[in-house]
Amino acid sequence: MIDTHCHLDLLKEEDLRDTLQDKSLEYLLTIGYDRKTIKNALKLSQENPQVFCAIGFHPHEADRVKEEDFEWLKTLAKENPKVKALGEMGLDFYKDYSDRKKQEEVFRRQIALARELGLPIVVHSREAEEETLRVLKEEKAYEVGGVMHCFTGSYQFMKACADLGFYISYSGIITYPNAQKLREVVKRTPTYRLLIETDAPFLAPQPVRGKPNKPTYLRYVAEAVAQLIPNTSFDDVDRMTSENAKLLFNLLCDGRKDTVTYVINNKLYINLTNKCNLHCTFCQRERERNFMVKGYWVWVSRDPSVEEVIREIGDPSRYEEVVFCGYGEPTLRFSALKDIARWVKERGGRIRVDTNGLMFTFLPKERLKELKGLVDVWSVSLNAPDKETYNKVCRPAEEGAFEKVLEFIKEAVREGFKVVATAVDYEGVDMKRTEELAKSLGADFRGRIYESVG
């Protein structure tokens, strides 16, 4: 199991020892929430192979956070590979230990930093559902994703967070007799968004309530989840929450080598990231982490570095085409994409980028120009003839996503790129009209077959 939220530095000495010796805990994410605990979290993660950390400033700390603290946080996160997330951060309008305005500001600043660093966030939200959602959306936190830790909110809040691509983490609170309402929310949480945590030394689960909590009690949380989710055993909960955690926090797992590049039919595909800012109904990566594409396991457990990709490519001119592919959105790693594309181009390769066309939702239009002379073809997932269908099929996190795709296609055509708009032949999608729309934007069109994954 993976305890996705604990404060190891606050445990009693013997509880820490038990925890680090417990073989049922594959990984632990210890959380630093102020200057002191951040240092502790780093130290613990450096000393123990199974410990990773998240570092950030808790909303309770907001009043004390100074400008230089953000710079400090950034440097630490950049320099320490065991930092897997920023946080905990967020809003706490229950205790109100810090000024609300200041809480929001510190929250926003840290989301921006997480996006800059490409790290997911750990969110603490109490009695501030609406405000938390608003900030997450406005700051485009879904580009890096994250977890709503120690979730105790409403069904609507859970759903909105899950739809935004956030994970929902439950703690020992779900075992408390008076948490009936919360248990109903657990039942309805999508299993691919589910995580578990202890928040130790706080919130000991019911069977050990009153004692200081420790990560070895995580099994009580897992047991409770197994009882709530239909047709699900303890082992199922263990496996799915562990895989979800590995995915979210990019924890190196099972030793299987990541498929960073792969060749199909003399085309070389580059697997730049599995992160995506859409979640299309038909997308395999949305429901299945371990999926194969023509004999390749294409899930990458972390984003490969530019150097790593280049090393694997070798001589790009051997291939008909070098493709930045779409099991994840390559433009999310714009600068890596650009660096690799330049390297490939200089060695005579031909480049295609498969994209969902949402680049303008997070980068200014002008940035597209930087890829001129590097990208030969854009293959853009249009997938619908109109906004209504698009929202249904592609489920964007943001209003106006469809318009952004159209804008992207037009702009790319205008800049002189070859653009092919694509659509998956999916129920409810009028392929003919989608093709007409593509053509009207100056793009070519290619229909794609929908392969059911069961």
What's the CA angle centered on 7, arms 2 and 11, to 5 degrees? Answer: 110
Encoded one letter per residue, x for contact with ligand SF4 by CB under 6 A and - for no contact, window 28-67 reads ----------------------------------------
* Cα–Cα nearest to 199, from 244, 136, 147, 249: 147
C-beta closer to Zn ion: residue 84 or 124? 124
List the one residue from 22, 139, 143, 329 that touches ligand SF4 (CB under 6 A): 329
Stretch that binds ligand SF4, among 98-106, 149-157, 265-273, 327-335 (CB under 6 A): 327-335
Q: How far is the CB of 117 from ligand SF4 (least distance, A)?
A: 22
**Residue ranges in 178-207 that form contacts with Zn ion under rule CB under 5 A:** none
d(CA 16, CA 43): 14
C-beta closer to Zn ion: residue 56 or 349? 56
Per partner kind, with CB cut-offs from 5 to 8 A, the member of Zn ion, ligand SF4, none near residue 324 is: none
* Residue 356 within binding range of ligand SF4, rule CB under 6 A: yes
C-beta closer to ligand SF4: residue 358 or 437? 358
**Residue ranges in 253-292 that form contacts with ligand SF4 under rule CB under 6 A:** 276, 278-280, 283, 285-286
Per partner kind, with CB cut-offs from 5 to 8 A, the member of Zn ion, ligand SF4, none near residue 124 is: Zn ion
C-beta closer to ligand SF4: residue 282 or 445? 282
Q: Is 87 left (phi over 0), alpha (psi -120 to 50) or beta?
A: left
Per partner kind, with CB cut-offs from 5 to 8 A, the member of ligand SF4, Zn ion, none near residue 110 is: none
| Token code pair at residue 150 | 């120690």
* Residue 124 within binding range of Zn ion, rule CB under 5 A: yes
**Residue ranges in 380-419 that form contacts with ligand SF4 under rule CB under 6 A:** 381
Work out whether strand 296-297 and strand 292-293 pair parallel, antiparallel, or are unpaired.
antiparallel
C-beta closer to ligand SF4: residue 69 or 354? 354
* Residue 109 within binding range of Zn ion, rule CB under 5 A: no
CA dihedral 14, 20, 23, 28 (to 10 degrees): 130
- At how many degrees (to 10) do helices 67-79 and 35-47 cross? 0
Stretch that binds ligand SF4, among 162-170, 204-212, 265-273, 320-328 (CB under 6 A): 320-328
Q: How far is the CB of 356 from ligand SF4 (least distance, A)?
A: 4
C-beta closer to Zn ion: residue 148 or 253? 148
C-beta closer to ligand SF4: residue 283 or 371? 283
Stretch that binds Zn ion, among 119-127, 176-184, 188-196, 361-369 (CB under 5 A): 119-127
- Residues of this chain that interact with ligand SF4 (CB under 6 A) are 276, 278-280, 283, 285-286, 326-329, 356, 381
- Residues of this chain that interact with Zn ion (CB under 5 A) are 31, 88, 124
